Each structure stands twice: as structure tokens, then as C-alpha cells.
Structure 1
Amino acid sequence: MASKYYAQTISSGSVKGLGGPAGGLARIAAVHSGSSCRVPSLAFGSRSIPSSSMKLGPGKLMQCLNDRLASYLERVRCLEQENARLENKIHEWYECQSPYVCTDFQSHYKIIEELQHQVMRTENSRLVLEIDNARLAGDDFRTKYETELALRQSVDADINGLRRILDELTLCRADLEAQLESLKEEHLCLRKNHEEVSVKVNVEVDAAPSCDLNKTLDEIRSQYESLAEKNRRDVETWYTSKVELNQQVISSGEELQTCQSEIIELRHNIQTLEIDLDAQLNMKNALECTLQETEARYGTQLAQLQNLISNIEGQLADLRCDMERQSHEYKILLDVKTRLESEIATYRRLLEGEDYKYVYSEWITKKIRTITEEIKDGKVISSREQVQHVTL
């Protein structure tokens, strides 16, 4: 916290006397002088008109007044030059600082905020749309994956069922082959028995010719024919079942190959879908990274703009404080000028009325005014003023 002190000394000298047309008062106005304005002190305590001079003749008194008037005119000229110099400095400072003072940044701030909101809304809308599209695509791929997985499971179940059927058919084929072998062996045994019986019959015929061989042979022939017919039908039935079994095995093999090709195709589809899903996930991660980078970049830009705004506001506050200070100094100088002009007018009236008699009484009063201002960050927080009157 900075404090700035302005001390002003006000000295007033008054001359009262009788004279003039109205017999009124002739009074020298008070003059203010401030140390901050860099003007010479105009206190009259040491330069007042002594009482011994007033006792002299009018010529001496006029000479004294002329001397004082000349000194006051010299001071007025110095003050006018100082005032002109300060006004030139103020104008130069205003010309140098005019871009900062005259520029209205509120409209620019509003435009910047609107553009930032528009950019944020556009980016957010685009990113939300892309995220929704990615989410919908991921849901579609997930649905397709679940459908294909269910289809694959059903195909695997069908393949397992066909494998069980194939195993059962293989077992049936093995049983039928075993039955065929047993039937072949039985057929061979029957043939051997038939040959043996034929040999025995021949032997018996030779040994016992008394029997009716034709009838016996007919009976045996009919028995063997019926047995052969039965075996033939059994073999045909077995062969037909065997052929049907082979056809079923062939058709099952074709179906198995078809199912295997479908399984391979489904595996390729699943791999393709997994690749697409990975690509969509990577794209989603990339979009999220882009969103974070965009937010970070715009956050940095916003912070920079905030810092710039804070700096400009600080400069504006400093400029406002300097303007107030210089305005205060200018008012003080203007007050000094006004009072000097008033004194000049008073002296002119005194010069015009030099042929009158004066009886005066003199007193000197000094007025000291102290102004204390507390300034923080270029802004005036508080101001205090103390006034002291001293009579000399």
C-alpha cells in the first residue's frame, strides 16, 4: 500500500484601512501553493508590507507597491510558463497514452466471449456427434458379433450332433460287417455240411439202395433251396442297408464339409469384425485425446486472454489514477492562477486609488492543509485532509 502526501501552505495577508469613495476594505486574496505542483511559495509572511513603510509618504508607498507588483507579475509569468509546460506535458502524455485511454475493450471482450462460446459449442457438437456415431457403430458391431457368435454356437452344436451320428453309423457299419463275416462263415459251414451230406447220402445210397433216394434228395434239395433263398434275401437286405449306410455316410461327409466351410467363413467374419471393433475403439480413443488437447489449448488461450485483460485493466487503473492526480494538480494550478489574477486586480484597484489616505491595520494568517491518500494497485482507497491555522 502506497501513501501520497500533498501539503499545501496557505498564507493570507490582509490590509484594512479607511479610504476610497466608500471607505471600505482593500484586501489581498489568499494564494495557495502546493509542493507537488512545483510552483514557488507565495507565503506573504516574510514579504508583507511593514508598518514603517505605511508611515512614509505616498511616493514611497507607491514605489513599494510597484516593487511588489513587479515581483508578483514576475511570479505570474513564471507560473504561466510552468502551467503551459505542464499542459504541454499533459497533452503529450495524453497523445502517447491515447490508444489505451480511448480504446473501449468491452465490445472486444464481448466479441471474444461470443466467439469462444461459438467455438466451444461447435467443437462440443462435433465431438458429441462423432462419439455418438462411434457408440452406434460399436453397438452395431457388438450386435453382429453376438449374432454371429450365436450362429457359430448353433453350427458347433449341429456339427457335434452330426459327429455323434457319424460315430453311431460307424458302429453300425462295424456291427454289419461283423454280421456279414459271420454270415459268410455260416454260409461256408452250410456249404461244407451240404457237401458232406451229399457224400453221406451217396454213401448211404450205395450202402442201402432200398431207400427212396429221389424223395430224400428232393426233400434235401427243397430244404437247401429254401435255406439258400433265405440267405440270399438276408444278404440282399444286408447289402441294401449297407448301400443306404454308405449313402448316409457320404451325405453326412458332404454336410460336414459344408459346415466346416461355413465355420471357416464365420471365423473370417469374426476376425474382420474384431479388427473393425479395434479400429473403432482406436478412433474413439483418438477422438477423446483430440478433445482433451482441444480443451487444454482453448483453456490456455482463455488464460492468456484473462491475463491480457488483467494487465490492460491494471494499466487502465494506473492511467485513471495518473489522470486524477494530474487533474488535481491542474485544479491547484488553476486555483493559484485565479488567485493571482484576483491579487493583480486588487493591486490595480490600489494603484488607481493612490491619492487616498490609508489607515491600516495588518495581520498575517498562515493556513496549512495536509492531504493524505492511500493508493493500492493504482486505485485511491482512502483520503484524509487536515487543516491548521497559524496566526503570525
Structure 2
Amino acid sequence: MTLKSYSSFLILCGKSENGRLVVQIDNAKLAADDFRTKYQTELSLRQLVESDINGLRRILDELTLCKSDLEAQVESLKQELLCLKQNHEEEVNTLRCQLGDRLNVEVDAAPTVDLNRVLNETRCQYEALVETNRREVEEWFTTQTEELNKQVVSSSEQLQSCQAEIIELRRTVNALEIELQAQHNLRNSLENTLTESEARYSSQLSQVQCLITNVESQLGEIRADLERQNQEYQVLLDIRARLECEINTYRGLLESEDCKLPCNPCATTNACDKPIGPCVTNPCVTRSRCGPCNTFGC
């Protein structure tokens, strides 16, 4: 793996890690918003329940006052009943006294009517009327008391259920607050991790960038050296080509000069008499015969 590919791999790793952290932060924000919405909903529901409880408490207070008024009315009716009984007894005693005196007079005169029977009938009528009134009052009081007790029991049950709902809502709110705080802590931790990762990868990226810059400068120097060596090589190739051309030219000249020399039956000869040219450093070269005309080769 080259340095450039390794740096690209590190950059891709950093980008993927940053993307993953950003996604986690977004998910944490969405979860926090969801919990905040749930908290607001539960809070509004709690406020509604508290308002209902306050209304029920007012109704309970009104029922308590109504019960107190009814009890006071019952007491007043009892007092009135006692007063009626006393008045009735007083009237009965008065009538008895009056009828007793009249009875004595009438007995003296001429007893014709049974006053005891009349008094008993009158007393029975009054007692029946009083008993009827008493039963009606007792029935009315019992009915009102039962209705009031039913209302009190229903209000107490509603109050207990509302209190249980409030306790449950408080527990839910506490749990949501704890979870929201945990999500805030998680978000802060992820943000700190993201900041540290960005700083770390930024430092590594700076180091890799410096290393890439150094390598690129070295590659530039190497490329310049290669170009310079290539130019020198081209120059050397040109020089070689020119030298080969000159050598071929001199060889042709030497061959043409050798062809002009007279034939000699000797197997070898010493070509030391005539100079070859400026490029021949050894004036005496032993050459062998060549060609069909027995000339000397180079």
C-alpha cells in the first residue's frame, strides 16, 4: 500500500467515523425531541388531571357543605318535631282539662257523649299524623343521606383514582426526566468524542499532508534528476551516433585506400608507410589479406 492510498484510507475512515457520530447525534436529538414531546404531553395531562382534582375537591367541599346544611335541617326538623310533640301534648292536656271540666258539668247535667273515645280518636289522629310526618321526614333524610353518601363515595373513589394517576404520572415524568438527562449526557459524550476525533484526525491529516508534501517534493526532485539524466543520455546517444558515423566514414576511407594499394604475394604486410587519418593512433598495424583482390582489411 502506497502512502497516498494509505492517506486516502485514513481520510475515508475519518469521514465514515464522523458520519457515524453525526448519525448518532441526530438520533440522540430525535430521541430527546420525542421524549420532550412526551414530557409536554404528560405534563399537560397532569395539569388537566390536577384541574379535574381541584374541581372534584370543590365539588366535595360543596357536598360537605350541603351535607352540613342537610344535617342542620334534620336537626331543625327534629327540634320542630319535638316542639310539635310538646305543643300537641300541651294541647291534648289543655283539651283534657277543658273537656274534664265540661264533662263534670255535663255529667251533672246529662251525659250523652263518650268523651274518652273522642279524646282517644283525636289522640290517635294526631299521633298518626305525627308518625306520618316523622316517617316522611326520616325517609327524606335517609334518602338524602344515602345520595350524599353515594356522592361522597364516588368522589372519594374518583379522588383516589386521580391520586393514583397523579402518582403514576409523576413516576413517568421522573423516569422521562432521568432518561432525558441520560440522553443529554450521551449527546454531550458523543459531541466530545466527535470533537476529539476531529482534532485527532485533523492532526493525523496534517501529518499525512506534510508527509505527502515531502514525498511530492522528493518525487519532483527525482523526476528532475531523471529528466536531467535522460537529457544527458540523449546527448550521449547523439555523441555515440556521430562517433559511429565518423567511424563508418573512416572505415570506408580506409577500405578505399586499401583497395588502391598494389597486390603483394606476401601473406602479411606492414601498413606503416601511409598515415591512415587523424583517428589512427597506432601507425603500424598488421592487416590480413581480404577480398578477391588480396587487399588488406582494416
Same fold (TM over 0.5): yes
Which residue matches 1:164? 62
1:310-365 CA-partner distances (Å, limit 9, x unpaired): 321342254246546766887899889x99xx9xx9xx9477399xxxxxxxxxxx
Q: Is the Cα–Cα contact under 8 Å of residues 155 and 263 in structure 1 kept in the other structure?
A: yes
CA shift, 1:192, in A, is 2.3
Taking the aligned partners of 2:16 and 2:111, their CA distance within structure 1 comes to 126
Cα deviation for residue 187 of structure 1 reads 0.7
- State the alpha-carbon separation in 2 of the partners of residues 302 and 319 from structure 1: 25
- Can you list the C-alpha shifts for 1:31-72, whole angstroms capped at 9, x where unaligned? xxxxxxxxxxxxxxxxxxxxxxxxxxxxxxxxxxxxxxxxxx
**Structure 1 residue corresponding to 2:7, chosen from 109, 131, 151:** 109
Contact 2:46 2:169 in 1 (8 A): yes
Cα distance in 1 between the residues matched to 2:149 and 2:175: 39
3-state SS of 1:352 partner: coil
Is the alpha carbon distance of 1:282 and 1:131 closer, same or farther for their aligned partners in structure 2, counting shifts above 3 Å? same
CA displacement at 1:152 relative to structure 2: 4.2
Aligned-residue offset at 1:244: 2.0
Highest RCO, 1 vs 2 (Cα 8 Å, sep ≥ 6): 1
The letter for the 2-side match of 1:288 is R
- TM-score normalised according to structure 2 size: 0.68
Query: Closer, same or farther in 2 for the Cα pair 1:224/1:213, shift >3 Å?
Result: farther
Deviations 1:235-291 (A, max 9, x none): 111111222233234323322432332233122112202211211220221122023
State whether structure 2 residue 130 is matched by structure 1 residue 201: no
For 1:331-342, list aligned pairs within 5 A: none
Give the whole-Å Cα distance in 2 for the aligned partners of 1:256 and 1:235.
Answer: 31
Residue correspondence of structure 1 range 1-392 to structure 2 within 5 A: 104-208=2-106, 209-210=108-109, 212=111, 214=113, 216-320=115-219, 322-323=221-222, 349=278, 352=281
Letter in 1 for 2:171: T
Alpha-carbon separation, structure 2, partners of 1:313 and 1:167: 91
Is contact 1:162–1:256 with CA below 8 Å preserved after alignment?
yes
**Cα separation, 1, equivalents of 2:6 and 2:156:** 76
Q: Kindly provide the amino acid, as one letter, of the partner of residue 250 in structure 1.
A: N
Tell me, yes or no, if the aligned pair for 2:25 and 2:190 is still in contact at 8 Å.
Answer: yes
> TM-score, with normalisation over the residues of structure 1?
0.53
- The 3-state SS of whatever aligns with 1:214 is coil
- Cα gap change, 1:225/1:114 in structure 2, threshold over 3 Å: closer, same or farther? same
Aligned partner of 2:253 in structure 1 is none
**5+ residue gaps in structure 2?**
248-276, 284-298
More strand by share: 1
Structure 1: gaps of 5 or more residues: 1-102, 355-392
| C-alpha distance in 1 between matches for 2:112 and 2:162 | 72
- Give the partner amino acid of 1:112: L
Give 2:294's aligned residue: none
- 3-state SS of the aligned residue for 1:230? helix
Instruction: Give the Cα separation in 1 of the matches to 2:111 and 2:176.
Output: 95
| Contact 1:134/1:284 (<8 A) preserved | yes
Residues 173-192 of structure 1: per-residue CA shift (max 9 Å, x gap): 21121021122122112212
Bigger fraction of residues in helix = 2
Within 1, Cα distance between the matches of 2:74 and 2:91? Answer: 25
| Deviation at residue 217 of structure 1 after TM alignment | 4.8
- Name the aligned partner's letter for residue 251 of structure 1: K
Q: Distance in 2 between matches of 1:211 and 1:184?
A: 39
Q: Evaluate the alpha carbon distance shift between residue 230 and residue 185 of structure 1 in structure 2; reply closer, same or farther with a 3 A threshold.
A: same
